[in-house]
Amino acid sequence: MANIRKANISDANFCAEIVHSWVQTTSWMPNRFTLAELETLIEEGMPKRDIWVVGDPIFAYLSFDRPNNSIAALYSKNPGQGYGKRLINHIKCHSSFLQLWSHSFNLKAHKFYMREGFVKKEFNQLGADGIPEIRFEWKR
């Protein structure tokens, strides 16, 4: 099984490809950014967040905003293979509280988060990208 490691700048392209592919295949998600723009956004986020990846090439990644104990992004190239669970567990080992926002339409993600012990806490009709979101929390 592939190891989890801290991402470096050269990983931004692989992470961007995973997100871009997800956006392209998700009917309710607006296609607001090109692949190159997503790569730049991830590169710019790297100094501000802990970004963890699994696989070589990368199968999944998690972006963690440590000051807010917030998972800012969790994407997997092949959902259901256990990579998201491994990344979440990696963050849980170093935290007693986590939170994240998930698009309200992303029902598969909600089932996953609830299986992992997260609880729905708050609804925001107009999320950061204009789509309604739900905030989840996990406590040890």
How many residues can be counted in the chain? 140
Mean pLDDT (whole number) for 81-109: 96
Q: What's the pTM? A: 0.92
Q: Which domains does the chain have, with CATH numbers?
A: 4-139 (3.40.630.30)
More confidently predicted of 127 and 140? 140
Given this model, what pLDDT does residue 130 score? Answer: 83
For residue 1, pLDDT beyond 80: no
Tokens for 117?
Answer: 């012990």
For residue 56, pLDDT beyond 90: no
Per-residue pLDDT tens for 32-44? 999 999 999 999 9
Give the CA count within 13 Å in the CB-facing half-sphere of 115.
Answer: 11
